[in-house]
Chains A and B, each alone.
Chain A
Amino acid sequence: MADLGINLAGIRSPNPFWLASAPPTNTGYQVQRAFEAGWGGAVWKTLGDPIINTSSRFAAVHFGGRRVAGFNNIELITDRPLEVNLKEIYETKKRFPNHAVVASLMVEPKREKWHEIVKRVEAIGVDGLELNFGCPHGMAERGMGAASGQQPDLVEMQTYWVKEAATTPVIVKLTPNITDITVVARHAVKGGADAISLINTINSLAGVDIYSWNTIPHVAGKGAHGGYCGPAVKPIALNMVAECARHPEVGVPVSGIGGISSWQDAVEFMLMGATGVQICTAAMHHGFRIVEEMIDGLNNYLDEMGLASVAELVGRSVEKYSTWGDLDLNYKVVARINTETCINCNKCHIACEDTSHQCIERKTNAEGKEILVVREEDCVGCNLCSIVCPVDGAIDMVEIDEGLAPMSWNQRQKALAALNEAEMGVV
């Protein structure tokens, strides 16, 4: 059994699975149940001046008969008095001293406000602080959450104020509702952040009821944008984590968040630079027990890979993530269809024929069986056929060695420039 323990900027937990700051971490009762179920840490539902919530609050996107491909909420930060939350944090930490309890904080962008809350929270004993600069709805209209998170200088300033008072590690939680997340990440680091966590939720409208024409969800017939999360946002989150992880001026540990539903998702985030992960939607969909499957799957995976510690995963794929200009233009793959495995649904054919490069032909073989054949010389290796194929192993993307040395767009441009210069020199 591998060591699943992590250390994120000094915050230790028995495993990399933390509950994100959200409805599941609203109370001591819930967080303690979560720790009993096996969660390694929890970021408490954001503390601040108590708010009033609406009814209803959540909505989800279901896809092709599967529930909760994406999840949307308009719930705000904690609606309970600070004293109550602090008392429960204290009790929880006392019962679970080895689990990570991180307090998520959000106050007005004022130095004394930040100092005050940091001191009060640290006084009862937490393992770290997470600054909520990401909540995209409601709080943002009051100049907090994403509203401050979208202003890099404000992120830097507030982080600085927190660091003036804080004695525990400070994680800055970033909003994805911004053009370049690394800009905000860099400012958080400049302000003194010990780590960053990302992504918070994405501005979203879950849907419109096509019969009542109301928004989904709606509050007395009116809607407002919410924050989107769940499996559908994973690729967006993974890219942003990777962009921060590979940016030389960020350079602090990353807590990965966004659509993590399984141990495989967690491994992907860690390979792309996350030290640990935070999860909410999967717990809301299935209950805290889902972490058991995550821990078991991760354990078996690490054993299978011969890794002694989960920490060995962190960042292992980051160097493989680059820019388009660095990709080898001479690399070639083509699709090959395994007739034995193929079930002849013809989905690859029609996808290629209508929307790609018209290179999958329908033929009849010597035994009279219908088969699908890729015209390899016209295949551009786009992967579309293997994506739409419903049967694993029916289509392989096969590397073709065309005997060409690797050449990226950037290298090509450089070589062309050199040639041009040489020509100019001749003239």
Chain B
Amino acid sequence: MGKAASLTTLSAERFAANFAEAEPGLTVKSAVEEANRCLYCYDAPCIKACPTGINIPSFIKRIATGNLKGSATTIMDSNPVGASCARVCPTEELCEGACVLNDASEPIRIGLLQRYATDWAIKSGKPLFQAGTPNGKKVAVVGGGPAGLSAARELARDGFEVVVYEARELAGGLDTYGIVSFRLPQPISLWEVEQVEKLGVTIKTGVKVGADVPPSELLEQYDAVVLAAGMGYVPKLGIEGEDLEGVYDAIRFVEATKTAAPDVKLEGARVAVIGAGNTAIDAATCSVRLGAGNVKMVYRRTREEMTAYEFEYEFAKQEGVEFSWLTAPVRIIGDKSGKVTHLECVKMALSPEAGRDGRRLPVPIEDSEFLLPVDAVIVAIGQTRHTGLIEAFGLEHERGVVKIDPATRRTSHPKVYAAGDIVFGGGQGEAMVVSAAQQGKEAAHAISRHFSVTQQTIAI
């Protein structure tokens, strides 16, 4: 088949069009109409459903009363990455899912209203917060993703001198690199980074703690450390053919689309995505928008067990992504030149036996192997853990999940606090951006309490 040879990359114009934010924001009229529909509940369930506890009725009332600065401040005060969360939060499962209007009429479109208010803040360029009076203490934040930025922002507001160590070229973590641009354009995340920097926080990008800076140095030089390094790339599947040309790590694959058209020839390609989490969906929809002719998600369990959010699943279906349930990859096959040509799969069945996570275990059906002709395979089966870094800090952990005191987010090292994906795992909640932001706040507040710093949290 000469198909692979004919594959091309997208033109810059088509890339820009395909990767522009998919959902339009609210118009002024629709925002005000929607804001006026909010009942302004007392002790509102949407607030309780928001991991960062944004005072949602208040920010919506401020939109309704033409106070967009106040609205954006309310959002960003509770959630330093509130503009990104407006786009990536699974709102159906959080604030909007809790809205009292769900059964009475239609829930308020809180996510879109939050985006409307934060878009105003981005466009206006007005600062919303200011740094606290210096308290003489220094904190290092390892990782400039949602958790790290959130911790840094809160610490700066409390008067700490804060340095963020970010391994990548840009801060923002998942929000900057890991979510498809047509859902979250990179400038949104970079605005949030800028807001933190404007409070006097130093962000050292391209500096990898553990490689460029030894953890011991941070422990010596700083009064406290917030470890918010997130998780790593996709682990190996452990099957034959993973190094063939055309096999991608889903996280690196999405990352490559965040700034410009990637050098990936997918026009008309047949793509298999292995996994069924949110990253797998992102990789699949990304493939579609890079011009792939057919995108199949290969998952060894069923729709019921998939971890992707319902809205992500719906979005993927709308984009034309196909799903091969109860299908597991066996090996990846390539041609003489080392390019992937087929994915060999086996059909699975769910055994009545439940695994450690309570989900039914998938088992292969004998002699059900088949070959799927493909031009690319994208692997999205989770993320590796930064076990080495954790051990370099000398922290107790369980299979790469840092152990913390949930009340203070303090690790086994008295100077080190942890937040975000680095503590996610082993059944501890969901790895959401909004949860990471909250944990970052909590770590910062615990540090303030530890040093008896009065929380200043000044809004401008």
Write out the residue numbers on chain A whose beta carbons fall within 8 Å of the beta carbon of B33: 65
User: Which residue on chain B has the smallest CB distance to residue A210?
Assistant: B66
Given contacts A64-B64, A391-B104, A346 and B42 within 8 Å (CB-CB): yes
User: Which of B39, B42, B104 is the most central at the interface, judged by chain A CB atoms within 10 Å of its CB?
Assistant: B42
User: Which residue on chain B has the smallest CB distance to residue A351?
Assistant: B42
Is there contact, CB below 8 Å, between A65 and B42? no
Is there contact, CB below 8 Å, between A345 and B103? no
User: Which residue on chain A has the smallest CB distance to residue B43?
Assistant: A346
B100 at the interface (CB under 8 A from A): yes
Is there contact, CB below 8 Å, between A390 and B39? yes
Is there contact, CB below 8 Å, between B36 and A65? yes
- Number of B residues near A (Cβ < 8 Å) is 16
A350 at the interface (CB under 8 A from B): yes
Q: Name A's interface SS.
A: loop
Write out the residue numbers on chain B whose beta carbons fall within 8 Å of the beta carbon of A65: 32-33, 35-36, 64
- For the complex of A and B, the 9 pairs showing the least CB-CB separation, nearest first, are A65-B36, A350-B42, A346-B42, A345-B41, A343-B100, A345-B100, A345-B39, A343-B104, A390-B39
A349 at the interface (CB under 8 A from B): yes
Tell me how far the C-beta of A117 lies from the nearest C-beta in chain B, rounded to whole angstroms. Answer: 48
B58-90, CB < 8 A from A? 64
User: Which residue on chain A has the smallest CB distance to residue B57?
Assistant: A345
Given contacts A349-B42, A350-B42, A343 and B36 within 8 Å (CB-CB): no
Is there contact, CB below 8 Å, between B42 and A347? yes
Write out the residue numbers on chain B whose beta carbons fall within 8 Å of the beta carbon of A391: 104
Bound together, the chains give a CA A200 to CA B45 distance in angstroms of 46
**B positions within 8 Å CB-CB of A:** 32-33, 35-36, 39-45, 64, 100-101, 103-104
Bound together, the chains give a CA A45 to CA B45 distance in angstroms of 54
Tell me how far the C-beta of A212 lies from the nearest C-beta in chain B, rounded to whole angstroms. Answer: 15
Write out the residue numbers on chain A whose beta carbons fall within 8 Å of the beta carbon of B36: 64-65
Tell me how far the C-beta of A91 lies from the nearest C-beta in chain B, rounded to whole angstroms. Answer: 42
Tell me how far the C-beta of A72 lies from the nearest C-beta in chain B, rounded to whole angstroms. Answer: 21
Contact among B35, B40, B42, B101 for A343, CB-based, below 8 A: B101
A344 at the interface (CB under 8 A from B): yes
Contact among A64, A347, A362 for B41, CB-based, below 8 A: A347
User: Which residue on chain B has the smallest CB distance to residue A394?
Assistant: B104
Bound together, the chains give a CA A346 to CA B33 distance in angstroms of 22
User: Which residue on chain B has the smallest CB distance to residue A370?
Assistant: B45
**A positions within 8 Å CB-CB of B:** 64-65, 343-347, 349-350, 362, 390-391
User: Which residue on chain B has the smallest CB distance to residue A341?
Assistant: B104
Tell me how far the C-beta of A387 lies from the nearest C-beta in chain B, rounded to whole angstroms. Answer: 14
Tell me how far the C-beta of B96 lies from the nearest C-beta in chain A, rounded to whole angstroms. Answer: 14
Please, could you name 13 A-B residue pairs with CB atoms under 8 Å apart, sorted by A? Answer: A65-B32, A65-B35, A65-B36, A65-B64, A343-B100, A343-B104, A344-B41, A345-B42, A346-B42, A347-B41, A350-B42, A350-B43, A391-B104
Given contacts A64-B64, A390-B39, A391-B104, A344 and B32 within 8 Å (CB-CB): no
Write out the residue numbers on chain B whose beta carbons fall within 8 Å of the beta carbon of A344: 41, 45, 100
Write out the residue numbers on chain A whose beta carbons fall within 8 Å of the beta carbon of B43: 346, 350, 362
Bound together, the chains give a CA A285 to CA B44 distance in angstroms of 36
Is there contact, CB below 8 Å, between B41 and A346? yes
User: Which of B35, B64, B100, B101 is the most central at the interface, judged by chain A CB atoms within 10 Å of its CB?
Assistant: B100
Write out the residue numbers on chain A whose beta carbons fall within 8 Å of the beta carbon of B44: 345-346
User: Which of A346, A349, A362 is the most central at the interface, judged by chain B CB atoms within 10 Å of its CB?
Assistant: A346
User: Which residue on chain B has the smallest CB distance to residue A64?
Assistant: B36
Bound together, the chains give a CA A391 to CA B41 distance in angstroms of 13
Bound together, the chains give a CA A218 to CA B20 distance in angstroms of 45
User: Which of A65, A345, A362 is the most central at the interface, judged by chain B CB atoms within 10 Å of its CB?
Assistant: A345
Bound together, the chains give a CA A402 to CA B405 distance in angstroms of 59
Tell me how far the C-beta of B64 lies from the nearest C-beta in chain A, rounded to whole angstroms. Answer: 7
Tell me how far the C-beta of B99 lies from the nearest C-beta in chain A, rounded to whole angstroms. Answer: 9
Bound together, the chains give a CA A347 to CA B64 distance in angstroms of 18
Tell me how far the C-beta of B71 lies from the nearest C-beta in chain A, rounded to whole angstroms. Answer: 16
Bound together, the chains give a CA A203 to CA B36 distance in angstroms of 29
Tell me how far the C-beta of B19 lies from the nearest C-beta in chain A, rounded to whole angstroms. Answer: 35
Bound together, the chains give a CA A134 to CA B104 distance in angstroms of 45
Inter-chain pairs besides A343-B103, A362-B43, 7 sampled, C-beta below 8 Å: A64-B64, A343-B100, A345-B39, A345-B41, A345-B42, A346-B44, A350-B43
Tell me how far the C-beta of B337 lies from the nearest C-beta in chain A, rounded to whole angstroms. Answer: 63
Tell me how far the C-beta of B95 lies from the nearest C-beta in chain A, rounded to whole angstroms. Answer: 14
Write out the residue numbers on chain B whose beta carbons fall within 8 Å of the beta carbon of A390: 39, 104
User: Which residue on chain A has the smallest CB distance to residue B41?
Assistant: A345
Is there contact, CB below 8 Å, between B32 and A347? no
Write out the residue numbers on chain B whose beta carbons fall within 8 Å of the beta carbon of A347: 39-42
User: Which residue on chain A has the smallest CB distance to residue B65?
Assistant: A64
Bound together, the chains give a CA A64 to CA B103 distance in angstroms of 23
Write out the residue numbers on chain A whose beta carbons fall within 8 Å of the beta carbon of B42: 345-347, 349-350
Write out the residue numbers on chain B whose beta carbons fall within 8 Å of the beta carbon of A345: 39, 41-42, 44, 100
Bound together, the chains give a CA A391 to CA B104 distance in angstroms of 8
Bound together, the chains give a CA A347 to CA B32 distance in angstroms of 21
Bound together, the chains give a CA A64 to CA B45 distance in angstroms of 22
Write out the residue numbers on chain A whose beta carbons fall within 8 Å of the beta carbon of B35: 65
Tell me how far the C-beta of A394 lies from the nearest C-beta in chain B, rounded to whole angstroms. Answer: 9
User: Which of B39, B40, B44 is the most central at the interface, judged by chain A CB atoms within 10 Å of its CB?
Assistant: B39
Tell me how far the C-beta of A393 lies from the nearest C-beta in chain B, rounded to whole angstroms. Answer: 11
Bound together, the chains give a CA A346 to CA B47 distance in angstroms of 13
